[in-house]
Chains A and B, each alone.
Chain A
Amino acid sequence: MKLTLNEDQLMLQASARDFCQEKAPVSVLRRLRDEKDPLGYDPTLWKQMSELGWTGMAIPEAYGGYAFGYGGLGVILEETGRTLLASPLISTVVIGATAITLGGSEEQKSSLLPAIVSGGLTLALALEESGFHNPAKTACEARASGDGYALSGNKVFVLDGHIADKLIVVARTSSQPGDEHGLSLFLVDKDADGLEVQRRWMVDSRNAAAVMLNNVKVNEDALLGEVDQGFELLDRVLDVARIGLGAEMLGSIQQVFEGTVEYLQQRMQFGVPIGAFQALQHRAADMYSEIELCRSLVRAALNALDEQQEPKRIAQLASAAKAKVSDTFFTVSNEGIQMHGGIGMTDEFDMGFYLKRARVAQQTFGDAAFHRDRFASLQGF
């Protein structure tokens, strides 16, 4: 597969860009933040996104999807990253639909996937238990109980947790925290007895929640994938999430960078545009180079998903992309503020939203250090 966009993808990019710039500019996120919107996203926009087919991008046609592939979804995510569009796209479509497609029973697929495509079902992955990404350390416990399981434990940083109709809960059915073996995934209804979801107000004004499970009873059919074998499925789903988030971050990075270069051309000091100063030129040129590298990694990783390459190869690309994009977002978001001077520090200007988003996205599904370590392990060193 080519590393450049094909004609269909280019058309998709143009329409996604129009939609995001016109319907969902940063001012939408600003309004959600300022009004402390209880949902933290705009359901009307979400409905329009599903009407555009975005929710079915990577879902097989057999289940109502459009099989446009992850390459197409990546193009869209990049555009949503440009305007910091807050929506359940990553939690529901990138993570939820992928988990069901890869791990779900026939029954689960046919009942849930079409509902995702139509925009009628939102999902969230309840995984993290501390402030640091470490899936194998999961301690939340799932005890066999009657015909099913009883889940108990606490989850944090559950993206879109408080607006999800169903949670995908990662829990331990055997072995000890730290072991990859012994994890299982469960689909849990938002109003299950013993389940409490509390919204958290994050610095990037995006949705996250804490989830408390107190002896939450689920039937056998709530199990997603094989019992005790959940880590492998989870890791594959997480790799898709890392790549998808990487695409979104790439969009944000490009937006910040382009805005900054524009400012370098406009802002006059000492009788010249500040972009005339080599001290700034070289840093801009350096960022440009890094962004080009990010673009290649993200594109290669998306292609690898569509080509259904070996999970190990996908994992390497996912970690490479997430590490690189995280580092680049760090640099570009800092430089975006610094190169704008005083104006960059004001809330009225959008730059701060990208800086805040950068740090949250950097830590989501593993930060750069996590992924360099994982990359090394995957490469056998």
Chain B
Amino acid sequence: MASLDEFRQSTRAWLEANCPPSMRTPMPQDEVVWGGRNAKFKNPDSKVWLERMAAKGWTTPTWPSEYGGGGLSKAEAMVLQEEMARIGARTPLNSFGISMLGPVLLQYGTEEQKQEHIPKIIRGEIRWCQGYSEPGAGSDLASLGTKAIRDGDYFVVNGQKVWTSYADKSDWIFCLVRTDFEAPKHKGISFLLFDMASPGVSTKPIQLISGASPFCETFFDDVKVPAKNLLGDLNDGWTIAKRLLQHERTMISGFGLSGSRPGKAMPLEEVARQYHNDGDRLSDPVLRDRIAQFKIDAEAFALTSRRSAEEAKESEGPSATSSVLKYYGTELNKRRMELLLQAMGTQSLGWEGDGFEDSELDTTRGWLRSKGNSIEGGTSEIQLNVIAKRVLELPDIMNFVGKKK
């Protein structure tokens, strides 16, 4: 433990010396750094902060140092996280490369693929998007129909994806394609990586109910993808796809921590006090009870997330329990947003313009956005199915009525 203490001290000193003061303040939505070829740094300090953290590999603390990662043990990474939280340091880089693709690239990628892609993810040079869902393949992802046909050194990709978050802002896509049309649906899928600037790729933004346009329809028209960009074995993409979903679900479950993580968002009871002009004790007994109920669940959830991370073997990462966390975390976040509306009254029901604070309008839109939490990354229903089948090993009705394809 002595070495861990030393690590803590040196980390603390480094953060003190290197984290710019403005990076120790709560991060507005429009200052979130996503990286990429067209990276935007609304606050110039966030570029400095990203570069310093990336140089240490601390945008991805536990990834191997040979590819530029931090090379930290889980315990050290926890210390880093705690020390960052202590000074309210912002996450230097958000990306699907970090939360989703990187871990499976490290697990399934060839040496050449890792060398090519991992460092660029760590430094935020390439922004990735996720080409999974299609109009006909959502919950039943394995029924996807985007085709990739081998032609010499290339795959030629044709088809359509939908709900591709940030496709219009991303540089590369990790994409599920069908490469065997005769095999059972899970056995004919491959996992391709390609440049969104390739000829034949086009995107069309879709507006969300919150007013933002973060996701797209993505079209592929004879897109030529070098064969070396196949991740894993041909027709074995489903294994990787599922593994990536576990990482994604663990990431999304983090929404459930926003109610209990200090410094992230104003605590519900504080909001209720402000809007009801209350002293310490909340005057509305119904609201008080609901907030207490929420906070108990939020704390229990945070503890469960931690326990689950501790239990996961250092090498193995997330398992089917990622579905429990994804399910509970997102339902919890939706509850938190509904409670905010209740605590703020009609001030939470504005859309734009005078009469509403920015923080109030952010709440309204954040509430609307939160409805997607229990849909993206696999719906709540699908998580419950996974828990029932994989964790509880309950029988699948499809096996009895002979519907299973």
Interface on A for B, CB 8 Å cutoff? Answer: 128, 130-132, 156-157, 198, 200-205, 210, 268-272, 274, 277, 279-280, 334, 337-338, 341-342, 344-348, 351-352, 355-356, 359-360, 363, 367, 369, 373
Given A280-B381, A347-B208: A198 touches B346 (CB 8 Å cut-off): no
B355 at the binding interface (Cβ < 8 Å): yes
In whole angstroms, how far apart are the Cα atoms of A128 and B346 in the complex? 10
In whole angstroms, how far apart are the Cα atoms of A256 and B16 in the complex? 53
Q: List 18 A-B contacts (CB under 8 A).
A: A130-B345, A131-B275, A131-B347, A200-B353, A200-B355, A202-B351, A269-B138, A271-B403, A279-B384, A334-B334, A345-B209, A346-B206, A355-B368, A359-B341, A359-B349, A363-B345, A369-B284, A369-B286
Chain B nearest CB: distance from A130 CB in Å? 7
Interface of A is mostly: mixed
Given A279-B384, A346-B209: A201 touches B353 (CB 8 Å cut-off): yes
In whole angstroms, how far apart are the Cα atoms of A200 and B350 in the complex? 7
Stretch at the interface among B18-26, B60-68, B372-380: B372-380
Given A345-B209, A352-B368, A363-B345: A270 touches B275 (CB 8 Å cut-off): no
Whether B375 and A344, one on each chain, are in contact in the complex, defined by CB atoms closer than 8 angstroms, is yes
Whether A272 and B353, one on each chain, are in contact in the complex, defined by CB atoms closer than 8 angstroms, is no
Given A269-B139, A342-B162, A347-B211: A360 touches B380 (CB 8 Å cut-off): no
Whether B355 and A342, one on each chain, are in contact in the complex, defined by CB atoms closer than 8 angstroms, is no
Whether B371 and A345, one on each chain, are in contact in the complex, defined by CB atoms closer than 8 angstroms, is yes
B354 at the binding interface (Cβ < 8 Å): yes
Chain A nearest CB: distance from B270 CB in Å? 16
Whether B207 and A347, one on each chain, are in contact in the complex, defined by CB atoms closer than 8 angstroms, is yes
In whole angstroms, how far apart are the Cα atoms of A205 and B211 in the complex? 13
In whole angstroms, how far apart are the Cα atoms of A342 and B206 in the complex? 11
Whether A203 and B347, one on each chain, are in contact in the complex, defined by CB atoms closer than 8 angstroms, is no
In whole angstroms, how far apart are the Cα atoms of A345 and B368 in the complex? 9
Whether A201 and B350, one on each chain, are in contact in the complex, defined by CB atoms closer than 8 angstroms, is yes
Cross-interface CB contact of B372 among A200, A345, A348, cutoff 8 Å: A345
Find chain B residues with CB under 8 A from A156 CB: 346, 355
Find chain B residues with CB under 8 A from A130 CB: 345
B91 at the binding interface (Cβ < 8 Å): no
Given A342-B163, A342-B375, A363-B345: A203 touches B206 (CB 8 Å cut-off): no
Find chain A residues with CB under 8 A from B143 CB: 269-270
In whole angstroms, how far apart are the Cα atoms of A314 and B143 in the complex? 55
Chain A nearest CB: distance from B188 CB in Å? 16
- 5 nearest A-B pairs in the assembled complex, by CB-CB distance: A131-B345, A352-B209, A269-B140, A347-B207, A369-B286
Given A210-B355, A271-B405: A360 touches B349 (CB 8 Å cut-off): yes
B276 at the binding interface (Cβ < 8 Å): yes
B305 at the binding interface (Cβ < 8 Å): no
11 other contacts beyond A156-B355, A201-B353, A279-B384, with CB at 8 A cut-off? A157-B346, A198-B355, A202-B349, A204-B349, A270-B398, A342-B162, A346-B207, A347-B209, A352-B368, A369-B284, A369-B286
B352 at the binding interface (Cβ < 8 Å): yes
Whether B347 and A355, one on each chain, are in contact in the complex, defined by CB atoms closer than 8 angstroms, is no
Chain B nearest CB: distance from A343 CB in Å? 9
Whether A345 and B375, one on each chain, are in contact in the complex, defined by CB atoms closer than 8 angstroms, is yes
Given A128-B346, A131-B275: A341 touches B352 (CB 8 Å cut-off): no
Q: Mask for B370-401, Cβ within 8 A of A = 1, else 0?
A: 01101110011100110000000000001000
